[in-house]
Amino acid sequence: MVLPNGKTNPLRDDRVPGVLIVNFKVSAIPRAAKARSGNQVMAIATVDALNARWRLKDYRILFPGAKPVAAPSNEPEMRGYHVLEFDPSIDLDLAAAEYQSDPNVESVEYDFYAYIMRTPNDPSFSQMWGLNQAADHDIDAPEAWESTVGNTVTILADTDTGTLYAHEDLKDNIWVNPGEDLDHDGVVMDADDADGIDNDTNGYVDDFVGYDFVAGGSAVWTGEDGGTKDNDPKDFNGHGTHTSGTIAAVSNNGKGVAGVAGGFGPLTEPGCRLMCLRMGYSFNDGGVENGRTQMSFVAEAFRYAANNGAVAINYSFGSSSGGGIEAATDYAVSKGVVTCAAAGNDGNSVSFGYLQLRPDVICVASTNSNDLKSGFSNYGTPVDVSAPGSGILSTISNHYVPGYTVYSGTSMATPHVVGLVGLIRSLNPLLSRQEVVDLIVNNADNIDALNPTYAGMLGSGRINAARSTQGIASANFAALPAFGDIPLTVQFNDSSLTPPTAWHWDFGDGDSSQIQNPVHIYITPGTYTVTLRVETAIGTGTRTKLNFVAALADTMTAQDTTAVAGRKCMLTIWGRNTQPLSEIVLPLVVSHVTDVAFMDSVVTTGCRTSYFESETVVFDNAFFGEKAIRLIANAGGGSPPLAPGYGPIARVWFRLKNSAAKNDSVVVNVGPLGSYSFQTITPTLTYVPHFLAGTLVVAGTIGDLNVDGSTDVLDLTTLIDLVFAGGPSPVPEELGDINCDGIFDVLDVIQLIDYIFSGGIAPCL
């Protein structure tokens, strides 16, 4: 399908005219070079026909050097992505639909403009209060620097309008690509290394400090570079140099400002390295200089960062879902990169972009020097953390002229978080991406009390660098089995990457242990959260796994029942669950059903699951006694899981055949049907309860009141006695309801006489 626009602000984020991002199937990736005649020939007949029809002007590979993905892998396949450029006047929707219908094409996306997040400068803020402030509404950077000031092996990527890498307060912390530093002197943008060769085979020639991904920018501001991609990511606009300074401006060098991960002197304690990735540019916005990007530029920059050693990405623009950004972000996540995105400056809870809404991207709101939400900052559930963003002093490029100035915006908040990632990674590079995120989110200062109107909408709070760099050791563990019937014996195994010297286990049931790999027995049904805290040479580390162990005592029972031949009957499935159930897959297998009964339906009417929003028959071979249903509590309407308890789950309806004899039976059990197997699903795990089969037994045939196996005059005598003399009722009573109208009367006697002596209508027919 053609991917939609997930744009942040419909008034500003708009589709790039004349550009499609086409992802070709692996089996049909274009191999041919561009024809010199100007016709863009891809050596795919159907695609070339489309190229001719839509007058393709140019095309290029979006992710140069992408390699095949080896299975199994969570990396996206990126070799097929290409940028196709047409005349801006074409009907882009129609072109997209035609390319999408081509059998060689996997998907088609639009490209979108996204705009930098900056509000007017606030001249009253002139100090770097966000790092250190007497009122302590800062991130406690000096306290964090007691643990680490960053190091040169930790690379932080700033995807922005570029970086003025020659700035006096940045140049000593600029990343120099070792694969292109031919003379190994570490000089930034060293002309001695320029040989026009892709020496490190990463798909980019002479990429000394990063890369400039801007190609064919429109309405480019006079003096700005908006032409073709190149190896010079120098910043004209200024926005990127400002964010770079917050991340890693050189600290303690007697010049300008300090960065969160900027070290403490370029010679004595150098800081993290800044990878300069230019994907935005200045454009003429109705006579005003503003900044924007295209999502395809961002996508290429993200992949470059992930492939070239960056541990974090700063993204301070709006965002949309096109341009290949989904695949590029998936790729960065698969490589363990922590991506941080500015929440936006619309001052509301709805204007979030695609990246800001992704759960694997840290979305950052802005606070002021009083720990209050900045007036311009977006807020809401997508926000993960907040950081100082009002009146932030940092480095600047004023049309390539270096300087310092104060900016405000969530753009200014986000690089504080990226710098913190650098400090954490400098202390412990073995931490996983999620562990780094958890350290930042779980150690923030809760500021809800100061922001009651926005309580719960500023993430976990304003980041605290000091606390986030304390519990820095990597703790982790596994367990086998993680769920099962009580009493459940669980073997826990420490798998912490940082070598521990001591272990402190909390099993969630009130018990604990101090050995490395303990065995614990759970005797009470329930779901248990387990925590391991380890002590290491570099500090403590904690790992908590919510609802990690499930000790079960869950059963489902098909209730035994009896019924009369020729009549409808119902068998109830009863369930006892100790876990909240969000989904139940019930594949029923009924034995001997072809001889004894017709299987009708499976329903939840009158059951504990009757409120479930979705009841679907997913396998139906009822003639042979096979029917599977899938019950889902919340199918989009928000219904809660089934609370722990006991009661009917479903009811199975049958009609016993007239030919069924007394004591004939069918057995109701569960078993795999097609791709469906018996299971129950909770919000945290999937498991199989015990199922106790039930039996439906034929109690007799209507008309056979004395249950001797035949309908004859003895049955008539019993019925006459019942109807006219109040004699005893048959067991079960429905054996005597000859015409199936629910009562015993003379009509039953007449029909039975007619049936026995004159070959009349059989009972219940």
Model pTM greater than 0.75? no
Q: Say which residue, 592 or 246, is predicted with more confidence.
A: 246
Catalytic choice (82, 137, 167, 239) = 239
Helix and strand numbers, DSSP H then E, in the chain: 13, 37
pLDDT in the model for residue 98: 96
584 found inside a domain:
yes
Preceding peptide of 487 cis, ω within 30°: yes
Average the pLDDT over 475-499 and give the result. Answer: 90
297 and 434 belong to one structural domain: yes
425 and 507 belong to one structural domain: no
Chain centre to alpha carbon of residue 506: 28
Q: Say which residue, 457 or 116, is predicted with more confidence.
A: 457
Residues in CB range of 254: below 8 A, 6 or more apart:
none
Q: Which of 208-217, 594-603, 711-720 has the highest mean pLDDT?
A: 208-217
455 found inside a domain:
yes
* Helices 325-334 & 295-307 angle (0-180, nearest 10): 20
Among 682, 700, 718, which residue terminates a domain?
700
- The answer on pLDDT for 191 being more than 90 is yes
pLDDT in tens, 35-89: 444 456 788 999 999 999 999 999 999 999 898 888 777 889 999 999 999 999 9
* Helices 746-758 & 713-725 angle (0-180, nearest 10): 160
Measuring CA to CA, how many Å separate 739 from each of 392, 406, 711? 89, 92, 14
648 and 692 belong to one structural domain: yes
Calculate ∠ Cα 278-283-286, nearest 5°: 160
Residue 36 half-sphere exposure, CB side, CA atoms within 13 Å?
A: 0
Measured CA to CA, the distance from residue 548 to residue 528 in angstroms comes to: 6
Single-letter amino acid code for the residue at 478: A
pLDDT in the model for residue 266: 87
Among 421, 448, 468, which residue terminates a domain?
468
pLDDT in the model for residue 120: 29
Bridge partners of 363? 341
Residue 446: phi, psi to the nearest 5? -65, 125
User: 43 is written with which tokens?
Assistant: 């050596």
pLDDT in the model for residue 11: 31
pLDDT in the model for residue 720: 80
- Asked if 239 is an active-site residue, the reply is yes
Measured CA to CA, the distance from residue 497 to residue 474 in angstroms comes to: 6
pLDDT in the model for residue 37: 43
Measured CA to CA, the distance from residue 715 to residue 701 in angstroms comes to: 11
497 and 579 belong to one structural domain: no
**% of the chain residues with pLDDT over 90:** 67
Contact 342, 117 (CB under 8 A): yes
End-to-end CA distance of the chain: 56
- The answer on pLDDT for 124 being more than 60 is no
Measured CA to CA, the distance from residue 755 to residue 762 in angstroms comes to: 6
259 and 383 belong to one structural domain: yes
SS3 701: strand
Torsion angle defined by CA atoms of residues 726, 732, 738 and 739, in that order, rounded to the nearest 10 degrees: 110
300 found inside a domain:
yes
Catalytic choice (48, 160, 235, 737) = 160
Beta-strand pair 392-398/401-407? antiparallel
Measured CA to CA, the distance from residue 499 to residue 143 in angstroms comes to: 25
Residue 712: CATH number of its domain: 1.10.1330.10
Range of the domain at 507: 477-551
pLDDT in the model for residue 196: 96
Contact 355, 319 (CB under 8 A): yes
Among 416, 434, 468, which residue terminates a domain?
468
Measured CA to CA, the distance from residue 439 to residue 463 in angstroms comes to: 10
Measured CA to CA, the distance from residue 175 to residue 624 in angstroms comes to: 69
449 and 484 belong to one structural domain: no
Name the band, by pLDDT with cuts 50, 70 and 90, for residue 317.
very high
Name the band, by pLDDT with cuts 50, 70 and 90, for residue 34.
low
Q: Say which residue, 309 or 125, is predicted with more confidence.
A: 309
Total of domains in the chain? 5
280 and 414 belong to one structural domain: yes
pLDDT in tens, 636-665: 898 999 999 999 999 999 988 878 888 889
Bridge partners of 283? 220, 290
Q: Say which residue, 763 or 423, is predicted with more confidence.
A: 423
630 and 657 belong to one structural domain: yes
pLDDT in the model for residue 249: 94
Name the band, by pLDDT with cuts 50, 70 and 90, for residue 632.
very high
Q: What string of DSSP letters covers 154-210?
A: -EEEEEES---TT-TTTGGGB---TTT-TT----TT-GGG--SS-TT-SS-TT-SSE
676 and 752 belong to one structural domain: no
Look at the block and give the residue holding tokens 């200045």: 282
Q: Residue 52 has what DSSP assignment?
A: H
627 found inside a domain:
yes
User: 554 is written with which tokens?
Assistant: 């869950």
pLDDT in the model for residue 339: 98
Name the band, by pLDDT with cuts 50, 70 and 90, for residue 9.
very low
Look at the block and give the residue holding tokens 């009349």: 760
* Run of H or E including 568: strand 568-577
pLDDT in tens, 674-695: 889 999 998 877 888 999 999 9
Residue 242: CATH number of its domain: 3.40.50.200
pLDDT in the model for residue 463: 98
Name the band, by pLDDT with cuts 50, 70 and 90, for residue 118.
very low
Q: Say which residue, 213 or 69, is predicted with more confidence.
A: 213
Name the band, by pLDDT with cuts 50, 70 and 90, for residue 548.
confident
- The answer on pLDDT for 298 being more than 60 is yes
Scanning 63-145, the segments in alpha helix (DSSP H) are 92-101, 141-145
Range scoring the smallest mean pLDDT among 26-30, 412-416, 537-541: 537-541
Look at the block and give the residue holding tokens 């770097």: 128
Name the band, by pLDDT with cuts 50, 70 and 90, for residue 765.
low
206 found inside a domain:
no
673 and 723 belong to one structural domain: no
pLDDT in tens, 662-675: 888 999 999 999 88
567 and 625 belong to one structural domain: yes
- Asked if 160 is an active-site residue, the reply is yes
Residue 687: CATH number of its domain: 2.60.40.680
Q: Say which residue, 2 or 151, is predicted with more confidence.
A: 151
Q: Which of 114-118, 469-473, 476-480 has the highest mean pLDDT?
A: 476-480
pLDDT in tens, 346-405: 999 999 999 999 999 999 999 999 999 999 999 999 999 999 999 999 999 999 999 999
- Asked if 411 is an active-site residue, the reply is yes
631 found inside a domain:
yes
Kindly tell me the burial class for residue 710, based on how many C-beta atoms sit within 10 Å of its own C-beta (0-12, 13-18, 19 or more). Answer: exposed
pLDDT in the model for residue 200: 95
pLDDT in tens, 93-116: 999 999 999 999 999 999 998 887
483 and 613 belong to one structural domain: no
Measuring CA to CA, how many Å separate 450 from each of 242, 446, 456? 28, 9, 12
Tell whether the torsion through CA atoms of 449, 454, 457 and 463 is positive or negative.
negative
Length of the chain measured in residues: 765
Residue 20: CATH number of its domain: 3.30.70
Look at the block and give the residue holding tokens 């009083």: 370
436 found inside a domain:
yes
**Average pLDDT for the chain:** 89
122 found inside a domain:
no
Q: Say which residue, 602 or 542, is predicted with more confidence.
A: 602
Tell which residue, 515, 520, 513, 452, has the closest CA to residue 480: 520
Catalytic choice (411, 426, 460, 468) = 411
- The answer on pLDDT for 575 being more than 80 is yes
